[in-house]
Amino acid sequence: MTKKRIALEKLAPVGADAQKQLRWTGIALAASALWSLRALFRVIGEMKTLKAILDQGASGFVAPYPKYLGSAFYGFALVSLVLAGVAAWNYASFRQGARTDYLMRRLPDRWEYHRRCLTVPLLGIGASLLIALALWVLYRAVYWHLFREATAGVEDPARLIIRGGQVTWRGLW
Phi, psi of 166 (to 5 degrees): -125, 155
Strand-pairing partners, residue 163, are 166
CA 65 to CA 67: how far, in whole Å? 5
> What's the chain's average pLDDT?
82
Q: List, for residues 68-100, the tens digit of each pLDDT value.
A: 888 999 999 999 999 999 999 888 887 776 666
Is the model's pLDDT at 168 over the cut of 70?
A: no
Is the model's pLDDT at 102 over the cut of 50?
A: yes
Task: Provide the residue ranges of all domains of the chain, joining segments of one domain with +.
Answer: 15-36+70-128
State the amino acid at position 128 in one-letter form: S
Residue 59 near residue 159, CB atoms below 8 Å: no
pLDDT band of residue 28 (cuts 50, 70, 90) is very high
Q: Please give the pLDDT value at position 78.
A: 97
Is the model's pLDDT at 172 over the cut of 70?
A: no
Q: Please give the pLDDT value at position 171.
A: 38
CA 22 to CA 148: how far, in whole Å? 41
- Residue 117: which of 14, 27, 29, 24 has the closest Cα? 14
Q: Please give the pLDDT value at position 101.
A: 64
pLDDT band of residue 1 (cuts 50, 70, 90) is low
